[in-house]
Structure 1
Amino acid sequence: MDHNEKPTATSTGVHPVSDNDERRASVQELKEKDVYHSDLLVDQELMNNAFDAENREHEQGTWAAVKSHPMACFWAFIFCFTIVMESFDMFLNGNFVALPAFANKYGVMSEDGKMAIPTKWQSALFQSGQCGAFIGVLIAGPITNRLGYRWTTIIGLMLMNATIFISFFADSLTVLVIGQAFEGVPWGLFIANSPAYASEIVPISLRGACTATLQMSWSIGSIIVAGVTYATNQWTTQWAWRVPLALQWIFPTPLLILIFFAPESPWWLVRKGRKQEALRSLERLGRKGMTDSVEKLAMIERTVEIEAKIGGNPSLLDLVKGTDLRRTAITCLTYASQNFAGNLIANQATFFFEQAGMSTDFSFQLNLITTCLQFAANIGSWFLLSWFGRRTIYLWGTFTNAVFLFILGICASITQSHSTNYAQACFGVIISVVYAGSLGPATYTIIAETSSVRLRALSTGVGRAAYYIAEIPMIYLASRLLNPTGWNLAGKCGYVWGGTAVVCWVLAYFGLPELKGRSYREIDILFNRKVSARKFKRTQIDVKDND
């Protein structure tokens, strides 16, 4: 026997160990060291590819990522643009109550001698759509897990086209409210899927900017509504509100055609075992001729395998198990907090300006100016999120709005004059713009990144459901605060929303982690290790860690 050969005992004696035996022993040793005992996680070639892809994404700057993934940016924007329909309708309802023709048709005489929509119907117009959307977001996760982001969104767009008919032909507030409820269901599908899809198809450095385009879509919807209602607010016929309702049909069909040709999320395809399709999707998302798609696929396979070994097939119950409970709580609280830091003033801006003492025509003009400023702030948020991160922008945005909300309340509490009316209107504009440039877009990025990939479709849906659970009663409260047939507090509502903004800030300071620049594998590890939210940014994760 060659003295260099390794002997091994057998029932028939001693014989040399073959190369295959050594290879199997090496693999077994690696498996024993790996808590997941996964063949994939000890495939050295695949793991090296995964390491290379993740390191490359960490090193890649924002502009370089845009140049290397132009189609990923395009498709992320298209999916996020579906939110323009919910935005359009939400702001449209806020403007309906300020349209003289609509108030004359469906309103009652208020104490000041003007026609106004009763508080219960005003809040119903807002709440009905949100109730429908609540149903939509709850069913979005299971549908998406089965059909994928692409087909779920296509189904939503078909439903949107059909349900607009109810609102357009409504001849009473009751039917209009019912129409809004039906329209809300596809809204829920869009808002649950869009941030998740956008976050999964773009590189790490682009996640903040691309998911923040959701807030820009809200601004685009509000700009269109502001322009249309400003043009029709002097009309005295039913077309003053039917024309804006009909304009909803300009969105679904073009988006449906585009999304039919969109690539599916490679993360979803890998979870379904369709790796060749995932590779093709990665090739479509990157610049033509890119050669790192195989490495990116390996990175996705690695993360999906780790999560699968931890939790298996996703279910709603998984959202409240183990470390996923913490992630779900962050998603839900962050989403719900959008209702407590000035957003409801922005949603009813025209009506707020009227209650602050502005004329109807000037209120519509000011609302148009506000929406344009919000759009500019949204674009600015892309750079802020890339430079400063999510936690920083959220905390400073919430703190700033809390201060302005309290100042708004003070302006409304002192002896009223022409100057105080304008001051209230100005602070209403500032609060709306600050929201649109900070915590508004940051929220969409946070909820898209916080959940595990395995539970993302479910988590974004449940998080948005938490938003609606908080929003529905808050809409009624906001209507009561502003409406002359309610409490008629005008700018004094700043005290209420300033107080709730402070609560949001405190909760975020202690519970909201910084996820900027982290891969999904790193985020999983940080949550699994139960790292404090304030230490996420400083904690180092090795590229070879699989825990």
Structure 2
Amino acid sequence: MSDPIEPNKTHGDAPEVEKEVQVEKEVQVENVGDNNIDEKVDHTLDEKADYQLDENAKVADYKADAIEAENAEHNMTVLEAVRAYPMASFWAFIMSFTIIMESYDVFLCNNFLALGAFRAKYGDPVDDNPLNNVVATRWQSALSVSGQLGALVGVCLAGSLTSWLGYRYATLTGLMLLNVFIFAFYYAESMPVIFAAQILEGIPWGIFIANAPAYCSEIVPIQLRAPCTQMLQMFWAIGSIVVGAVTYSYQGINSPLSYKVPIALQWMFPTPLAILIFFAPESPWWLVRKGRLQEAEHAVGRLGRRSRLNTGETVAMMRRVVELEATSKPPSYIELFKGRDLYRTLIVCGVYASQNLTGNLIANQAVYFFEQAGMSNKTAFALGLITSALQMIFVMLSWILTTYLGRRTIYLWGSAINIIFLIALGVAGSVGKSNASSLAQASLGLIISVLFTLGPAPASWVIIGETSAIRLRPLTTGVGRASYYIIEFPCIFLASWMLNPEGGNLAGRCGYVWAATGLVCYVVAYFFLPEMKNRSYREIDILFKRKVPARKWTKTVIDVDDDE
């Protein structure tokens, strides 16, 4: 007989057994789930690793392309660079042409001071002949600084405007404004209105002078940076030639036409230039800064021969430099005065300012200087025209010197030679009035004006274009040019006072003053101006970040793989 309790025990334990079985199943399910999670985690980690490898490969490829493009630029000769980038040279030429308008007007106003009909209308009488009238010293100085006052406003606007719109549209804006402002100058009938009109015209000049060196230095390869940025000085000379030829032709006409026609001729520049610049490519560096890489490649293709260039590699080189300088903040003027950017800003400002302290104002006031040195009115205009023509020739010679000898070398040697001639000018003006003294002063004034355009002046434009960081370039060139105008204002008043018979009446003795200021500029440049010849923008960034002393730049080697 079977025990009756056993079946009951068996059935009574069934729920517990089922629970145990259920628990085991749940454990198995959990284990399977854990395994699935582990597999998903492993799969995710694998995907991340693969993605990271892909990203590293892309970075490696992009850096390799950048290195290739930089090496290609370093290995180019000047002629090879011209053949590879023919249109870059052309567009640099067009952008540099905008400087001719500031040059034209600056020399025009200074030449008006020596123009009989202009003095008859706006000058104060000194005898019975109105052609011998003299424009008051205060108005001479005001007329000399009026355009620069407007340009000071223009350069302050240029940095932000160019960072926002780009070089092309900022320049087009200036050209259209200039067309309008010339009307005010042409119809002016009093010195205060002329003064106001010149201030208005100066605003577009400030945009041109801030943008041109930056644009020219960005669109050409390393070997062409010197000649293409130095074209700015050549066009400054051409502007003085044009205005010299016009005023020389009209200086014998004793009617308002003698100064109205030269003013009206300003209209021949803005519209044709605006049409050309509308079709110009934007700076690829600016496009890379904006993240528009495909447009940057297209711009590079327009600047050079596609058969000789790899546009992708060139943009990769630009991208490498832009990312080297990248920060989370947009470019601002405050950055210009922080860290190593302060050093770079001071170099640009110093080089710009020193143009007014090493003989430039003698060149800008050449005709008036020759008159005060004892030359006749007609001879003074002729010598002014000869000076401008020689300046253009010497600027072209400076292309060769700066390209092969370097920026620092030409700047320092040119400044030193200029100081010697300025001292000689002072001596010639100190020996008493005579025909020989007048000829010596006129000759030395001409030599100083010409040599200035062989050394310090053209080298300055290259230094200005190369020194600033890429992301801050529009702002730096604007602030640098602003420093030029700030220093120029007191220098113009001083120069006018020194030459004016009613003022200091120093004539050639002004050479002592400019030799002293030039010597200060020379000493500062000797210790703080680096040599940037044959340096890529990446290398320049790294040398500044490493705080390499200026005189050791030529001996410092930067590896192609270095990014800091």
TM range (shorter): over 0.9
Q: How far did 1:322 drift?
A: 1.0
Q: How far did 1:490 drift?
A: 0.5
Distance 1:225 1:151 in 2: 28
Tell me whether 1:317 sits opposite 2:334 in the alignment: yes
Distance 1:251 1:16 in 2: 67
Q: How far did 1:106 drift?
A: 1.0
Is the contact made by 1:40 and 1:46 (CA closer than 8 Å) also made in structure 2?
Answer: no
Structure 2: segments with no counterpart, 5+ residues: 1-34
Distance 1:413 1:494 in 2: 10
Is the contact made by 1:332 and 1:462 (CA closer than 8 Å) also made in structure 2?
Answer: yes
Q: Secondary structure at the match of 1:109?
A: coil
Residue 374 of structure 1 corresponds to which residue in structure 2?
Answer: 391
Tell me whether 1:259 sits opposite 2:277 in the alignment: yes
Which aligned pairs between 1:177-256 and structure 2 lie closer than 5 A? 177-256=195-274
Residue of structure 2 aligned with 1:475, choices 489, 492, 505? 492
Residue 167 of structure 1 corresponds to which residue in structure 2?
Answer: 185
CA RMSD of superposed structures (Å): 2.0
Distance 1:511 1:330 in 2: 8
Tell me whether 1:90 sits opposite 2:106 in the alignment: yes
Residue 67 of structure 2 corresponds to which residue in structure 1?
Answer: 51
Letter in 1 for 2:393: A
Residue of structure 2 aligned with 1:432, choices 449, 474, 477? 449
Letter in 2 for 1:199: S
Q: How far did 1:374 drift?
A: 0.3
Which aligned pairs between 1:129-144 and structure 2 lie closer than 5 A? 129-144=147-162
Distance 2:143 2:255 in 1: 20
Q: How far did 1:109 drift?
A: 3.2
Question: When the two structures are superposed, what TM-score results if normalisation uses the length of structure 1?
Answer: 0.93
Q: Which has the larger radius of gyration?
A: 2
Residue of structure 2 aligned with 1:285, choices 303, 310, 326? 303
Distance 1:519 1:264 in 2: 20
Tell me whether 1:389 sits opposite 2:430 in the alignment: no
Which aligned pairs between 1:301-312 and structure 2 lie closer than 5 A? 301-309=319-327, 312=329
Q: Secondary structure at the match of 1:469?
A: helix
Distance 1:40 1:227 in 2: 63
Distance 1:25 1:182 in 2: 56
Q: How far did 1:485 drift?
A: 1.7
Distance 2:195 2:481 in 1: 21
Distance 2:428 2:128 in 1: 22
Residue 121 of structure 1 corresponds to which residue in structure 2?
Answer: 139
Q: How far did 1:289 drift?
A: 3.1
Moved more, 481-490 or 286-295: 286-295
Is the contact made by 1:110 and 1:485 (CA closer than 8 Å) also made in structure 2?
Answer: no
Residue 529 of structure 2 corresponds to which residue in structure 1?
Answer: 512
Question: When the two structures are superposed, what TM-score results if normalisation uses the length of structure 2?
Answer: 0.90
Residue 422 of structure 1 corresponds to which residue in structure 2?
Answer: 439
Structure 1: segments with no counterpart, 5+ residues: 1-8, 28-38
Residue of structure 2 aligned with 1:300, choices 318, 323, 348? 318
Letter in 2 for 1:163: F
Tell me whether 1:358 sits opposite 2:358 in the alignment: no
Is the contact made by 1:41 and 1:47 (CA closer than 8 Å) also made in structure 2?
Answer: no
Tell me whether 1:103 sits opposite 2:125 in the alignment: no
Change (3 A) 1:171 1:18: closer
Residue 461 of structure 1 corresponds to which residue in structure 2?
Answer: 478
Q: Which digits, 9 at most, give the CA deviation of each residue in 1:71-102, with x for residues without a partner?
A: 00000111111000000000011100001111
Change (3 A) 1:462 1:41: farther
Q: How far did 1:415 drift?
A: 2.5
Identity %: 54
Q: How many residues align?
A: 527
Letter in 2 for 1:375: M
Q: Which digits, 9 at most, give the CA deviation of each residue in 1:383-432, with x for residues without a partner?
A: 11101111011101111111000100000001321111001000001001
Q: Secondary structure at the match of 2:477?
A: helix
Q: Which digits, 9 at most, give the CA deviation of each residue in 1:291-311, with x for residues without a partner?
A: 4111101001111111114x6
Distance 2:472 2:38 in 1: 53
Q: Which digits, 9 at most, give the CA deviation of each residue in 1:237-295, with x for residues without a partner?
A: 01111111011001000000000000000010111111111110000000243341111
Residue of structure 2 aligned with 1:72, choices 72, 88, 108? 88
